[in-house]
Structure 1
C-alpha cells in the first residue's frame, strides 16, 4: 500500500435511512460544538487559575467529550412514580446510543486540526491567509456531513463494506446498507484482490443529494500504467491561460498538446445564476418558497462545479498519461483575483485545482512535476536567443523578438521556455538581464563560496575584505566587493 485515493458514490437512501443520516450529521455538529465549548470553558478557567490543562489535540478532546457525556451536565432522564416521587433513570447524554460513537470522535479530531492550524498560523508556521479561532457550527448554515472510520472485527470483517448484499451498495457501521447509483466494480475488485483497504467513509449532503466518499489506501498502479524511468522524452512545459486553457510544448519548440475550447461553466451559466439569485431575494426570509429557491440555486452551483471538475480531470489525465516530466509555472492566483477585470475568468479556470491534480496523479504514475520559479519571465523571453522583451499586453497574442525576429504564439513560446527552464543543463536559474547566475544574496552576503561576508573566496586571493561601515554609531556587516545587495 503506497498511495491514498478516494472513491465517491452518490447515495440513494430510503426515507428512513435519510432520517438516520441526518441524525448522524446533527450528532457530528453537536459533538464539534460541545468540544469547542469545553475548550472555551477550559481557557476561561485557566485565566482564572482554576483549570490546569486545556484539551487541545484530537485525543484530548475525545477523552474530554467522553467524560462529559456521562455526567449530569450532559443531561438527565427523570422518571415519576405513582406516589409523585421522581428518580433519575439515566445520567448523561441520553440519545448517544442512537448514533455511531465514531461520529463524535471524528468531530473532535476535526476540531483538533482546526486548533492546530490556528496555533500554527498565529506562530507564523503556516503559510497563506491567517487562520482564525474555530467557531460554532450553525444548525441552519452548517453542511450536513460526518465521517466514520473502518474498524475490523475480531472475526476479520471490515466495518465498511462495498457490495455486500448487492453490487451497488455500501454498508456503514451503525447505519446499515445504503444503495448507490454508480457502479462499484472497480473498487470491489481492488478490495477482493487485496490491492485496496477502506480507511474511512465521509457522508455529505450537497445540493439535495447524499454522497459517500470512501478514503482508501491502495497499492501502486500497474507497471503498464506507470512511466518508465529511462524514457528519455525530456521535459514538457505546461502553460495555463484564459484564451488557450493549456498549451504544452517541449524545449525544441514542438507543441504536444493544446486545449482551446474549455467549457467556462461559470460564464456559460451566469444568466441562469442571476435569475435564480434574484428569485431567492424576492422570497420572504424564512419562508418555504425562499428555501426552495435557495435549493434550486445550490443545485445550479453544484452542476457548475461538476462540469468544471470533470473537465479538469480530463485535461490532467491527458497530460499525465502521455508525459512523464511536466513543468508548470507558479501562479499567484490570489493576487490575480484582485483584478476586477479578470477575477471571474481566473476563478472559472481553476488553475490551482489543475495543478493539484497534476501533482498527485504524476506521483501515482511515477513521473516528475516541477514548479517553475515564480519570477521566471516565460512569456516575454525569446525561446531561441533568450532575450527578454518588454512587458506584453494581454491582447498581444503573438510574441515577436526584437533581437532575432523570432515569431511564435504567445502561449506556445511560454510553454517552450518552461520546458527549457526544467532541462538538466538549466537547473541553475540564469539571470537573463545580467547574463550570469542569480546569486540571491542577502544584505551583507557574498555570491561566492564563502561562509561569512568577511571572508574571501577562492577568486579573491590577495584582496582584503571591505572594512565594516558604520551607521548611527553601530558597525554594519561587511559587504564583499563582488556581492549583490538586494
Structure 2
C-alpha cells in the first residue's frame, strides 16, 4: 500500500436512515463543541492560577471527553426513597449509547487539528492566512457531517463494507446499516477483493440537499502499464513539458524545442455561465421571510446550483489534469501568486472561476501516482517576457498583447506557447539538481523561501533573493526568527 485515495458516492437514504444520519451528525457537532468547552474551561481555570492540564491534542481531548460523559456534569438525577431521603444518581450522558463512540472521538481529533493549526499559525510556523482560535460549530451555519473509522473484528469482518449486504450499489456503515448509493461501486469492489485497497475511514456529509459518503482508502500503486518508466533519458519524446495556465487559453503545454503538446482554448467557465441563474436564485432567497419553509426551499435551490457549477468545474479539471499526466512523465508548472492576482477586481472573477490552484493540486498527486516528476518554476522567472529563441527578456508584456515579438531577433509566437517553451527550458537547465521524488529531502534548485527545507514557505521568494532589493551592510538577511509554537501545557511542538 503506497498511496491514499478516496471514493465518493451519493447516498439515497430512507426516511429512517435520514433521521439516523442527522442524529450522528448532531452528535459529532455536540462532541466537538463539548471538547472545545472543556478546553476553554481549563484555560479559564489556569488563568486564575489553578493547576490544571489543558487538553490540547486529539488524544487528550478524547480522554477528557470520555471522563466528562460519565461524570455528574454530563447528567444526574435526583432519586427520592420511600422514607423521604433524596440521593443524587450520576447518569452521565444518557444518550451516548445511541451513536457510535467513534463519532465523538473523530470530532475530538478534528478539534485537536484545529488547535494545532492555531498554535502553529500564532507562532509563525504555518504558511498562509492567520488561523484564529477554534469556534463553536453552529447548527445553522455548520453543514451536517461525521466520520467513522473502519475497524476489523476478531473474525476478520470489517465495519465499512461495499456491496456486500445490500447489493452492488450499497455501502454498509457501523451503527447505521446498509445505505443505497447511486454510483457504481464495481471499481472499488474489485480493488478490495484483490487486496489492492483497504478502507481506512468513511466520512458522511450533507451538501446541497444530498447525503454523500467518502471512503478514504489506502491503495496499492497503479499498474505498471499505467505508470511512467523510471530513469528515461531526456529525448524528444521524454523531455520536459512546460505548462502555462491562462484565461484566454486555459492550458498551453509545449516542449523545450517548441513542439506543442496540448492546448485547451474552450474551458466551460461555469461561474460566468451560471451567473444569471445564480442572481435570480439569490434574489428569490432574499425575498423570502427568514426562518420560513419557503426560504429554506429557495436556499436549497441556490445550494444545488452552486453544487452543479462546482461539479462542472471539477469534471473539466480532472479531464485536463489526466491528459497532462497520462503521456508526459516530466512536467513543470509556473508558480503563480493567485492571492495577489485576485486583487485585480476586473479579473478576480475569471481567475477564481479558472481554479488554477486546483488544477495544480490534481496534477501534482496524479503525477506522483504515475511515478512521474513535477517541478515548480521560480516565481520570479520571466517566462512570458523571455524570448524562447534568443533568451532576450523584453521590458514589458501587457495582457492585451497576445503575440510575443522579440525586438532583438524578430521571433514571433503565441504568448502562451512562448511561455510554455520557456518553462520547459527552465526545467532542462535545473532538472539535474531537482529532488528525486523517491529519495526525499529538500529541493536544491529552489531559492530561499520556495524550497521544501526547514523554515521556508511554499510559493514565496524574498525580493533580496531575486536580486531586486540589495541588503545593506550590517543587516541580517531573511526574516527574524520566531519562537516555536507552544501549547498551554508547556510542551513545545516541533515545526
Same fold (TM over 0.5): yes
Question: What whole-Å deviation, never above 9, does each CA across 1:235-294 have from its counterpart, x for those lacking one?
Answer: 000000000000000000010000001000000000000011111111121111111111
Aligned match of 2:366 in 361, 365, 370? Answer: 361
| Structure 1 counterpart SS, 2:263 | strand
Residues 91-110 of structure 1: pairs in structure 2 closer than 5 A: 91-110=91-110
Aligned to 2:187: 186
Larger-gyration structure (1/2): 1
1:62 Cα offset (Å): 0.2
The answer to whether structure 1 residue 35 and structure 2 residue 35 are counterparts is yes
Residues 267-346 of structure 1: pairs in structure 2 closer than 5 A: 267-346=272-351
Corresponding residue pairs, total:
440
Does structure 1 retain, via aligned residues, the 8 Å contact 2:71–2:90? no
Aligned to 1:482: none
Shift >2 Å, 4+ stretches: 76-90, 424-429, 438-442, 475-479
1:94 Cα offset (Å): 0.5
Structure 1 regions of 5+ residues with no counterpart? 430-437, 443-470, 480-486
| Structure 2 counterpart SS, 1:72 | coil
Q: Do the aligned partners of residues 364 and 38 (structure 1) sit closer, same or farther apart at CA in structure 2, a change above 3 Å counting?
A: same
| Structure 2 counterpart SS, 1:335 | helix
Question: What whole-Å deviation, never above 9, does each CA across 1:144-178 have from its counterpart, x for those lacking one?
Answer: 01000011111111111111121111111111111
Equivalents in 1 of 2:290, 2:243: separation in Å?
A: 48
Equivalents in 2 of 1:78, 1:439: separation in Å?
A: 68
Equivalents in 1 of 2:5, 2:446: separation in Å?
A: 41
Aligned to 2:218: 217
1:72 Cα offset (Å): 1.0
Aligned to 1:236: 241
Aligned match of 1:392 in 397, 402, 412? Answer: 397
Residues 158-173 of structure 1: pairs in structure 2 closer than 5 A: 158-165=158-165, 166-173=167-174
Does structure 1 retain, via aligned residues, the 8 Å contact 2:72–2:90? no
Equivalents in 2 of 1:177, 1:341: separation in Å?
A: 50
Aligned to 2:151: 151
Structure 2 regions of 5+ residues with no counterpart? 435-444, 450-471, 478-495
| Structure 2 counterpart SS, 1:49 | coil
Higher relative contact order (CA 8 A, sep 6+): 2
Question: Please, what TM-score do these two structures have when normalized by structure 2?
Answer: 0.85
Does structure 1 retain, via aligned residues, the 8 Å contact 2:378–2:446? no
Q: Do the aligned partners of residues 428 and 291 (structure 1) sit closer, same or farther apart at CA in structure 2, a change above 3 Å counting?
A: same
1:215 Cα offset (Å): 0.3
Does structure 2 retain, via aligned residues, the 8 Å contact 1:421–1:427? no
Q: Do the aligned partners of residues 428 and 399 (structure 1) sit closer, same or farther apart at CA in structure 2, a change above 3 Å counting?
A: farther
Does structure 1 retain, via aligned residues, the 8 Å contact 2:160–2:174? yes
Does structure 2 retain, via aligned residues, the 8 Å contact 1:42–1:51? no
| Structure 2 counterpart SS, 1:403 | coil
| Structure 1 counterpart SS, 2:171 | strand
Equivalents in 2 of 1:304, 1:421: separation in Å?
A: 36
